[in-house]
Amino acid sequence: MNIDVLVAEIGSTTTVVNAFKDINTENPKFIGQGQAPTSVLEGDVRIGLNEAVKDLAKNLCTDNIEYKEMLATSSAAGGLKMTVHGLAYDMTARAAKEAALGAGAIIHKVTAGKLRRTDIKEIKEINPNIILIAGGVDYGERDTALYNAELIASMKLNIPVIYAGNIENREEIKLIFEDTGYKLYIVDNVYPKIDVLNVEPTRKVIQDAFEEHIIHAPGMQHVRDIVNGPIIPTPGSVMECTKLLYENIGDLIVIDVGGATTDLHSVTDGSEEINRILISPEPLAKRTVEGDLGVYVNMKNIVDLIGLEKLEQELGSNIQNLINNHKPIPKTDDEIRFVERLTKEAVLKAVERHAGRIRSLYGAGGKTSVAEGKDLSQVKYIIGTGGALTRLPNRVEIMKEIPKHNKTGALLFPTKEAKVLVDNDYIMASLGVLSKKYKEAALKLVKQSLNI
């Protein structure tokens, strides 16, 4: 069977391959999916990729798959590990962190100010894939970023370094990293002026650096022998798809509840009213990762958040048995109800942590209202992707609970007018990287999956 494009999602445990036909026509089609265990630990990711392609052929009832292109997303080999180093935590360090998260990175350390010996020790232990240095508005403070760059250069880690700080430091930064073995990328300042975020240029460079250097990750050395198109981090690909949808249908959030984490992507400017009272700026596109909210690996964290007694009241007295025998994929009615309750809690907590809130300040002039964090009040669509929110029977009802959770009105949540959609084909992660080369086709395919 001839296929135009295969997109491989190389996960930490499973590799999934999605097949697309008629990619250059008015009616592109998603035709099937195959999967196999990821083979990073075996030293060669191609083993799992080839097995996933064989599974796809089996599912499509064909003996042979021939394809023109293979693109990929990856969260294997620990995903994209980054450390981020800025000047002031609420300003440049936070802006750099937003850029890295939106690109699909896993942030292992964020520092503000000059690095200490303990920081250097921890960076070495983390062994990041990429280091991001920021600091100082343009033509502002210079010394902190230069000091941190000197220390990082002396570590001889031989990994990509991105500089996204004060424009005045660029030539100095080039000299610092000259002949050090580091691959240096210089990009526009993530925080060029007070209260101005400029994260998109850094996000693009992070993904470019990831693609260029992913072959150095364990087991990924031969990935380019089979993948002949773009490779980007899986969460970054979901963000690319989210931004593509925003351009077409407007303000939205995308939620992915997984076994270990819950990711939330939002693309919205918020309301003018809230923007006028915001304490600090927020990016148009924002991603948060809740590392304690997973319905399998971190199931017990969510059980603790809900409370055992409350779970027994809601689900019955056999709850302890469900906890003790929890499986990655629920089969029985009781198991499904249990995972749905876990998913609901993960969704509500993730949105609560992602969303901003209105606070009251009291001073000599009396009470003043201020806003902090991301304003989701203008969101038109709540979209579910990932295993839980595309496969559970009550996935739509779970997401409809989001507007109801804002009982006090202080949280900047989506309103009850927001429409709930589901990524029925579970292909948003694949379509983000597909949009790098086939934007129109990716948009049509995601709208088909969402039934819009």
Look at residue 365 in the predicted model and tell me its pLDDT: 75
The two three-digit tokens of residue 63, written as one number: 């003996």
Q: Specify the pTM.
A: 0.90
399-412 in b/e burial notation, b at 16+ Cβ within 10 A?
beebbebbeeeebb
Same fold, 2-77+218-229 and 233-293+343-450: yes
- Higher-pLDDT residue of 63, 265: 265
Report the distance separating Cα 246 and Cα 396, nearest Å: 20
How many residues appear in the chain? 452
> Which residue has tokens 């007018």?
417
Least confident of 79-83, 210-214, 370-374: 210-214
- Kindly list the domain boundaries of the chain, sorted by start residue: 2-77+218-229, 81-216, 233-293+343-450
Tell me the three-class secondary structure of 416-431, residue by residue. CCCEEEECCCCCHHHH
Architecture of domain 81-216: 3-Layer(aba) Sandwich (3.40)
> What are 251-284's pLDDT values in tens digits?
999 999 988 889 999 999 999 999 999 988 899 9
CB atoms within 10 A of CB 325: 8
Q: Which of 110, 419, 432, 150 is nearest to 263 (CA)?
A: 432
- Positive/negative CA dihedral, 113, 118, 121, 125: negative
SS3 83: strand
Q: Give the tens place of pLDDT for each residue, 322-367.
A: 999 998 889 999 999 999 999 999 999 999 999 999 988 887 777 8
Q: Residue 125 class from Cβ within 10 Å (0-12 exposed, 13-18 middle, 19+ buried)?
A: exposed
Following CA atoms 176, 178, 183, 184 in sequence, which dihedral angle do they give, to the nearest 10 degrees? 50
Q: How many CB atoms lie within 10 A of CB 221?
A: 15
Tens digits of residue pLDDT in 392-447? 999 999 999 999 998 777 889 999 999 999 999 999 999 999 999 999 999 999 99
Region class of 154: left (phi > 0), else alpha (psi between -120 and 50), else beta: alpha
Where does 2-77+218-229 sit in CATH, by number? 3.30.420.40
Residues sharing a CB contact under 8 Å with residue 217, sequence separation 6 or more, in sequence order: 40, 76, 77, 78, 129
pLDDT of residue 190 exceeding 70, the answer is yes
Whether the predicted pLDDT of 133 surpasses 80: yes
**Comparing C-alpha atoms, which of 326, 349, 321, 346 is closest to residue 336?**
326
What is the average pLDDT across 224-250?
93
CATH 3.30.420.40 is the classification of domain 233-293+343-450: yes
Give the three-class secondary structure for 19: strand
Tokens 């760059």 belong to: 149
- What is the number of alpha carbons within 13 Å of residue 52 lying toward its C-beta? 29
